[in-house]
Amino acid sequence: QTQTQNQNQTQTTNVHVNVPVTQNTNISFTAPPPPPPPPPPPAVHAPACSVHLTPFAHGHAQPATLTWASSNATSAFIEPGIGAVALSGSRTVFPAPGQVYTLTVHGPGGSAVCQNAIHTTLTALPLDKIPYTGFDFGPVGNMLYWVALLAFSIGGAYFIVYWRGGMLAFLRSALRRWLYPAYRRMRA
């Protein structure tokens, strides 16, 4: 026979054992209380993330700081060109114009995606940053080049103004050759 009493959260069980020697023995013991039910599993929250760029607007190929953070995540990945990263952190980047960084985080509650558009202002490069791709004959060669260019310009100006009466005389004779036959036909 078993009896259960719920006083003070203890459980008492009476057990009657019959021994073949015609003796009736009564054994009694107290069992420990049952363990409490397990707590409900913690609520699983969806991951969240954020990604920021400092400065927000900058010039082409200038450094910027990319900062990101996440919660309820176990892994994080940034594209393009960065890859797996810590769940929060920062990094120096050299974004192209219009570059968009995408942070993807995964956790027990799913995944989340965050993006940051980068507003790039195009600025003029200073002249010392532009490579010189023209000719370079050294100081003497460059001087000879400019002297030859100046002499050619002077010769061309002389030809236009003075040679065989200059440009005005040339235009007058050309007009006579083209227009004079037509003028003679009109008078005839």
* pLDDT for 27: 59
End-to-end alpha carbon distance in the chain? 154
Q: Are strands 119-121 and 89-93 parallel, antiparallel or unpaired?
A: unpaired
Mean pLDDT of 21-42: 72
- Alpha-helical runs (H) found in the chain: 138-161, 166-187
Distance CA 183, CA 173 (A): 14
Structure tokens at 113: 């995606």
pLDDT at 101 over 80: yes
Return the amino acid letter for 183: Y
d(CA 45, CA 96): 35
Query: Residues near 168 by Cβ (< 8 Å), separated by ≥ 6?
Result: none
pLDDT digits (tens, 9 = 90+) for 111-157: 888 888 665 566 677 777 777 767 777 888 888 999 999 999 998 88
How far, in Å, CA of 11 to CA of 33, rounded? Answer: 7
In three-state secondary structure terms, 176 is: helix
Peptide bond into 55 cis (omega under 30): yes
Between 20-29, 59-68, 97-106, 134-143, the lowest mean confidence (pLDDT) is in: 20-29
In sequence order, what DSSP letters do the residues of 130-173 get, joined into one string? SPP-S---HHHHHHHHHHHHHHHHHHHHHHHHTGGGHHHHHHHH
pLDDT at 93 over 50: yes
Q: What per-residue confidence (pLDDT) applies to 15? A: 54
